[in-house]
Amino acid sequence: MKCVNFLANWSCVGVALVFPGQVMAEMQRLNDTDLAAIRGQGGITLEMEVEVTADRVSYFDDGNGIYLDDFRVGSATDPEGQAFHRVRVDISDDAALNLDYLIEDRRIEFGDVRLAGAPGLSMGGFFFDHSLKGYLRIRPGGALGGSGYTFDSAYTMTAGRLGYRTNGNEIFLDNMTLTMEALGVTLDVVGETLRLEAPRIVGSYDIGAIRYSGNPLNHGHSTDVTTGAALPSYGSISGAFDLTTLTELKAGGRSGEGLRIDHETTINSAHFIYRDDGNALSLRDISGHYRVSDLRLDVTDDWQGRPALGFTLGAMDGEVNIGALEMGDSGRSLGEVNLSFLLQAREFEGRHYTNSLYLQGGGHPDAGGQGLRLATEWSLALADLSYTEDGNRVIFSGLQSWGRGDITVNVTRDELRNGTRFYDGLRVGFDGVKAGYRINGLQVGDEDAPLQGGTELLLALGFYPAYEFEMDGHITLGAGGASGEGLTINSDIQIRNGRAALIASPYDDGSGEISQKGLWLSDLSYDGHIRDMTVDVTGEGLTFNTGESWSTLDVGNLRLGDKRSGQSFGRFVVQTYETGSGLTIVPGGSGEVCAGGVGVTASACAASGGIWQDRGDEGITVRMKQILAKAVDDSRKNAFTWETNREIDGSGQLVNGSGTRLVLNDIHTGDGGDFDGDGVDDNSFGVRTDVSVDVYQTRVVKKDDGPDSLGVSGLRGDEKIMDSAAVAGYRYESTPSSADLENRPLGFAVRAQSRFKELSINNVDLVHPVGGAQTVVYGVHMQNFDIKANLTATPIP
């Protein structure tokens, strides 16, 4: 076993090095004149021009090896050149070792990473360019006594570039700058544990661009070497952090040799800013903490016996708070977000899930020889996600998620390769991923509020309160948005054996886990495709524009009650085909609203029986534009099918297509005529829907005389008033005072407005399995619709 240490900031254990290349360290002798000029100084200065190459760096764990091929340390700008290092070593009178260092134009690179057990599969290459200037001071004595060490370190990294490369394509963080200071970092050995404690790490970072290259001739260049044009960018990132950390390292993997890591971090403060062409998406006032327990690192096999670098986690818990989520020119905030979580092994749906990741080579088999395959299993035992806007809070309570499957990562370019269509960008593939999530319900106000529904109001946004599925497919994230920086997404997703809840009751109502009742899209399959969806941060907010998308959602049974055994309303098939659709997330909610009435002024609203509400500056508004295109063929059209009376096969399964069907065929939007004279009806307006989400007070009245479900009495028509002095936290008032009206219950408030110029159905057919299709409606045209809905959800009293 050999160890290598470069400048005390890079080390490894159990490494066998082979150096067919050369090590060059040019130390120059000081002449007498220079020596005479030195006064009162101590220590020595080392200057080195370094180039280190190795065909292979190997790490072995219980006889299993991982190889880092084509290892090189040298110049970042010259593939044959050396990196400049200057280190001044000084020992001060308190016996501290002081290292001042300057590193210029250095690249650390692995051309490929392979596992000894699977030499034919490679993970791809990594490179890290940088210049560093800083110091490291090492003093004797750690946090626990004299046998340890104390470190003070600070440095500035400039000209940084961190990249990942597969099959000649690469993605990299470009023009990185990082400043960091960590003072009083202690290193102690406690028993068999190496204990590293950093009382405070402060720093800031800036990533000038995140670039993509599909030209194999490029390697770590900001511009294309062929065209000279700047490589497309996903955007830029900057931020700052103030952390306190404690890390414990111990020998021993999950089995045999390996490494155990335990870690705690407190985020004292931080912020994160993503910029797209100068428009910012900011996460400000970040604070929190997390703890990693019993993370093991092994070179081992995954659950399918495939050689892998395994990361297996005992548990991880924490809480992160984002004080403000800002976007748009106005810098308005969507509100505050808080996430508490516990990742821990447990059983879901009769199967035990852990938290583990097995890193392997290969990626998508058709993408080329290089790529990453992550055999992944996760178990989010419990999480609460809360959102606070204008001081009012809603909690998505009891979020759980589980899953297992392979995730592949490749950097690909637009080509048809080995029969598979690839697109420019970072391709994240899903290969047999079986996963699910569920929430227990919403709580409005605080953690003590009763569970309630309300996610039903977000179905228009595609949010289901519970969903489990098996998934294949990919999402490819390309660089560059609608203009300049941003993202371009191409995606093909297939889902099978899915079960999604439209309405779901709690899975735990306080007396233990129960079967979650609801209205379920069961026996669900989905085939969805997205082409050229651009994602940009604009002056308005976060904008998604889709070139073309089409999908088929086939719900084998719409079940009521239990997701597997509940009675079925039959089979439903929803086909969609959209061109030029878009979605924008805008900060700010409903603003001023007339709830329960009509009118654009407070007086007009009150006159109609409504309540005039100012729901504040914060909140979220989602603006959607859906252009439903006319049918192109049977797979690209908008249609809705309801099938019942299906036959049952020999195994007792319902046979899709064997029953009677009601078909709404070729549903499409239009502008109401051909106004541009091209002979085709215009279709640019679509269905425009704005959904605004706030947390706000609402009027809740008692529906019956007598006690309610919590035993609080009142008369029919009495209003519910929150009162902390009351036993149940509320009371009923027949004539609430003005002070009482200030204490109306909080609700999850959703305001939606949907408009379309024309929505048409070409024909409505009844299809008999023997008699065939009969048209019952020869066309439906709906014109000039503007529908507003103002709904506030509270618990059922």
**Window 700-729: residues binding other proteins (CB under 8 A):** 700-701, 703, 706-709, 716-717
Compare residues 516 and 545 and give the one whose CB is closer to other proteins.
516
Does 382 interact with other proteins (rule: CB under 8 A)? no
- 316 sits in the region (left: phi over 0; alpha: psi -120 to 50; else beta) called beta
Q: What are the DSSP E strand ranges found in 645-744?
A: 660-670, 687-697, 706-707, 713-714, 719-722, 730-733
Q: CA–CA separation, 190 vs 262, rounded Å?
A: 13
Residue located via tokens 């619709």: 785
Compare residues 310 and 506 and give the one whose CB is closer to other proteins.
506
Q: What is the dihedral of CA 510, 513, 519, 522, to 10 degrees?
A: 160
669-to-70, 324, 553, 642 alpha-carbon distances in Å: 57, 38, 20, 21
Instruction: Please select the residue that binds other proteins; options are 45, 248, 642, 733, rule is CB under 8 A.
Output: 642
Report the first-to-last Cα separation within the chain, whole angstroms. Answer: 69
Within residues 668-707, the interface with other proteins by CB under 8 A covers 672-673, 685, 688, 698-701, 703, 706-707
Does 740 interact with other proteins (rule: CB under 8 A)? no
The minimum distance between CB 726 and other proteins, in angstroms, equals 18
Helix (H) or strand (E) holding 546: strand 542-561
CB 700, CB 676: distance < 8 Å? no
Does 796 interact with other proteins (rule: CB under 8 A)? yes
The minimum distance between CB 577 and other proteins, in angstroms, equals 22
Q: CA–CA separation, 724 vs 31, rounded Å?
A: 84
Give the total residue count for the chain.
797
- Going by C-alpha positions, the residue among 531, 533, 538 that lies closest to residue 584 is 538
Does 456 interact with other proteins (rule: CB under 8 A)? yes
- 440 sits in the region (left: phi over 0; alpha: psi -120 to 50; else beta) called alpha
Query: Segment contacting other proteins (CB under 8 A): 247-255, 412-420, 566-574, 723-731?
Result: 566-574
Does 453 interact with other proteins (rule: CB under 8 A)? yes
The minimum distance between CB 555 and other proteins, in angstroms, equals 11
Within residues 602-621, the interface with other proteins by CB under 8 A covers 608-610
Does 657 interact with other proteins (rule: CB under 8 A)? no
Compare residues 646 and 668 and give the one whose CB is closer to other proteins.
646
The minimum distance between CB 502 and other proteins, in angstroms, equals 10
Compare residues 290 and 642 and give the one whose CB is closer to other proteins.
642
Query: Segment contacting other proteins (CB under 8 A): 102-110, 419-427, 478-486, 568-576?
Result: 568-576
Query: Segment contacting other proteins (CB under 8 A): 69-77, 166-174, 200-208, 555-563?
Result: 555-563
Does 41 interact with other proteins (rule: CB under 8 A)? no
Query: Segment contacting other proteins (CB under 8 A): 243-251, 259-267, 280-288, 640-648?
Result: 640-648
CB 599, CB 609: distance < 8 Å? no
Does 780 interact with other proteins (rule: CB under 8 A)? yes
Residue located via tokens 């009027």: 699
How distant is the alpha carbon of residue 330 from its chain centre? 25
Compare residues 282 and 455 and give the one whose CB is closer to other proteins.
455
Within residues 519-538, the interface with other proteins by CB under 8 A covers 519
The minimum distance between CB 523 and other proteins, in angstroms, equals 11
Burial class (CB in 10 A: 0-12, 13-18, 19+), 116: middle
Q: CA–CA separation, 457 vs 765, rounded Å?
A: 31
Instruction: Please select the residue that binds other proteins; options are 266, 596, 631, 741, rule is CB under 8 A.
Output: 596
Six-digit token pair at 619?
């909140």
Does 779 interact with other proteins (rule: CB under 8 A)? yes
Within residues 227-246, the interface with other proteins by CB under 8 A covers none
Compare residues 390 and 456 and give the one whose CB is closer to other proteins.
456
Q: CA–CA separation, 752 vs 787, rounded Å?
A: 8
Compare residues 657 and 673 and give the one whose CB is closer to other proteins.
673
Compare residues 223 and 644 and give the one whose CB is closer to other proteins.
644
Count CB neighbours of 147 within 10 A: 12
- Going by C-alpha positions, the residue among 420, 426, 408 that lies closest to residue 487 is 426
Does 454 interact with other proteins (rule: CB under 8 A)? yes
Q: CA–CA separation, 241 vs 546, rounded Å?
A: 35
Within residues 413-442, the interface with other proteins by CB under 8 A covers 441
Instruction: Please select the residue that binds other proteins; options are 133, 200, 496, 755, rule is CB under 8 A.
Output: 755
Query: Segment contacting other proteins (CB under 8 A): 224-232, 426-434, 470-478, 500-508?
Result: 500-508
Q: CA–CA separation, 635 vs 551, rounded Å?
A: 8
Residue located via tokens 């084509």: 70
Query: Segment contacting other proteins (CB under 8 A): 150-158, 401-409, 576-584, 769-777?
Result: 769-777
